[in-house]
Amino acid sequence: MTSAPPFITAKPSETNILEWHYVIQGPPDSPYEGGEYYGRLNFPSEYPYKPPSIRMMTPSGRFQVNTRLCLTMSDFHPNLWNPSWSVASILNGLLSFMVSDEGTTGSIKTTRNEKRVYAAKSHLWNVKHQAFKGNRIDLYSI
């Protein structure tokens, strides 16, 4: 990523350029504040002409864990995909959707308090799970 969006870091897998790993830091004044949310983007070989699948791996109270998310910029809606969208714009869109209350395939409904509990437990969850450990992202630089 050339221009890092706030609260988001991402990098490609060392073994597969079509698989990207990201961490979203919960923005201030949101129920996700203080949380670290790890996920994956899987790009098709036809990228940038076809969209990626988007998954959130860390429990957040917003998305089902390790489930494809149905978003405008995901592989659920190839007809809405714009080839000019970058990793940064995809992840900005994900963050924007995350802090909204809209529902979609792959999302769940929880209270603000439940989301805060998930945020408080997110770092510990990440360091305990192999998927995150094997793809650790420096949260302070890209």
Task: Give me the active site residues, please.
Answer: 70
Distances (CA, A) of 72 to 45, 48, 84: 19, 15, 14
Task: Provide the residue count of the chain.
Answer: 142
CA dist 23 and 136 (Å) reads 9
CA dist 69 and 56 (Å) reads 8
HSE, CB side, 13 Å, CA atoms: give it for residue 29. 0
Strand partners for 23? 9, 38
Contact status, residue 23 vs residue 7, Cβ threshold 8 Å: no
Distances (CA, A) of 43 to 82, 84, 135: 14, 14, 17
